[in-house]
Structure 1
Amino acid sequence: MALSLQEQLLKAGLTDKKKVKQVKQQKHKQAKAQQRHKVVESDEAKLAAAEAIEAKKAKDRELNQQTKLEAEKKAIVAQIKQLIEVNKQPRGKADVVCNFTDGTLIKRMYVGTETQKHISQGKLAIVKYEQAYELVPMPVADKIAERDPLVVVYRSDTISAEDQKSSEDDDWYADYQIPDDLNW
């Protein structure tokens, strides 16, 4: 059995029994005082280490949150891409120009007459896809708009407040007949 440090020091002659007894009594008194007063000796190094650990944990949580958000964004982009690729509609025989706005720019797309009717009736919507524009059915456009509303460029079923106001101003013209010889 290994000897304790006190016993080793006694054996080597570096201390005497009186000092060993004195150190034991002092340690016993400190332990009793701590139990009575519930005083915990605070070690500055331990506190600094604990603070550093907490700071590292907080930083790790924040980094994990950021990577999680980035992964979610990538997943949403992939879902939108898949929805567009699977559901894009043919434009038909490109003989009619369909003008629409993308932000502040006016864009044009050549489509067939049937496709142009579907766009104006609100059955098809125009979405932005990889620097180009595609046509998708309205239910798919709704799903895409839930994920990212900026991808859906034009849908005829949503009328802006300005357009609604101008259509209300035009209602007073409804009583007048439009001449047949007038070409638009």
Structure 2
Amino acid sequence: MTKNALQAQLLKAGLVDSKKAKLLSKQSQHAKRTGDAENIEAKKALAAAQAKKIEKDQQLNQEKQQILEQKMLTANIIQMIKQHQITDTNGEVSYQFVDHSKVKKINITQKLYDQIVAGHVVIARLEENQTLTYALLPRPLADRINAKMEGFMVVSNDKLEVELADDDPYAAYVIPDDLMW
């Protein structure tokens, strides 16, 4: 009734009797059974930890992918602005506009000035390598860029109706957008 050769040798040598061998055998079987239960719990805990790690990794990869897509979109928009900007802008008429609560001034031709006031040309912010420049873009391109990502358009003179208060004493006096001081 011995399970292995070592037990058989111990019995022959008389170091262990058959009752002691059976007891050791039962204890080892019992340890295996209870050890398996602990192993199952450990395996479940390990599988749960691995599932959490996989889920966390997938979430991090998804965030990295979104950041990469955002960078690619920004690079594409900057490329579109560079390719389609109006290049012949140097002139003697100055146009002043507000960008991030700072008044900026660019010198342009009278034709471009009229187009900006009419809303046919838009001023876009172009930030590259820590330098800030402004580009003049045609209105259709500016609308496409603004639909993809907002934040590039600085001046976009749309024909919007301004709501006036009923008790405004200056309601009859309209100030034009192209007023030169």
Find the counterpart in structure 1 of residue 45 from structure 2.
48
Q: Secondary structure at the match of 1:80?
A: helix
- How do 1:101-120 residues align onto structure 2 when only pairs under 5 Å count? 101-120=98-117
Find the counterpart in structure 2 of residue 124 from structure 1.
121
TM-score by length of 2: 0.69
Q: Distance in 2 between matches of 1:157 and 1:145?
A: 14
Find the counterpart in structure 2 of residue 63 from structure 1.
60
Q: Secondary structure at the match of 1:64?
A: helix
For structure 1, the residue ranges without an aligned partner over 5 or more in a row are 31-39, 175-182
Q: Distance in 1 between matches of 2:108 and 2:53?
A: 58
Letter matched to residue 101 of structure 2: T
Letter matched to residue 89 of structure 2: G
Find the counterpart in structure 1 of residue 172 from structure 2.
172
- After superposing the two structures, state which structure 1 stretch, 42-51 or 63-72, moved more: 42-51
Q: Distance in 2 between matches of 1:88 and 1:173?
A: 36
CA contact (8 A) 1:96 1:113 kept: yes
Q: Distance in 2 between matches of 1:167 and 1:85?
A: 42
Q: 1:97 to 1:85 in 2, by over 3 A?
A: same
Aligned residues: 155
CA contact (8 A) 1:91 1:135 kept: no
CA contact (8 A) 1:91 1:110 kept: no
Q: 1:158 to 1:8 in 2, by over 3 A?
A: farther
- After superposing the two structures, state which structure 1 stretch, 6-15 or 117-126, moved more: 6-15
Find the counterpart in structure 2 of residue 151 from structure 1.
152
CA contact (8 A) 1:91 1:115 kept: no
For structure 2, the residue ranges without an aligned partner over 5 or more in a row are 175-179
CA deviation after TM superposition for structure 1 residue 117, in Å: 1.0
CA deviation after TM superposition for structure 1 residue 124, in Å: 0.7
Q: Distance in 1 between matches of 2:146 and 2:9?
A: 84
Q: Secondary structure at the match of 2:67?
A: helix
Letter matched to residue 76 of structure 1: L
Render the CA deviation track for 1:141-163: whole Å, top value 9, x for unaligned.
1122123211111110164xxx8
CA deviation after TM superposition for structure 1 residue 171, in Å: 5.8
Higher relative helix content? 1
Query: Which of these residues, 77, 82, 87, is aligned with residue 84 of structure 2?
Result: 87
CA deviation after TM superposition for structure 1 residue 167, in Å: 11
TM-score by length of 1: 0.68
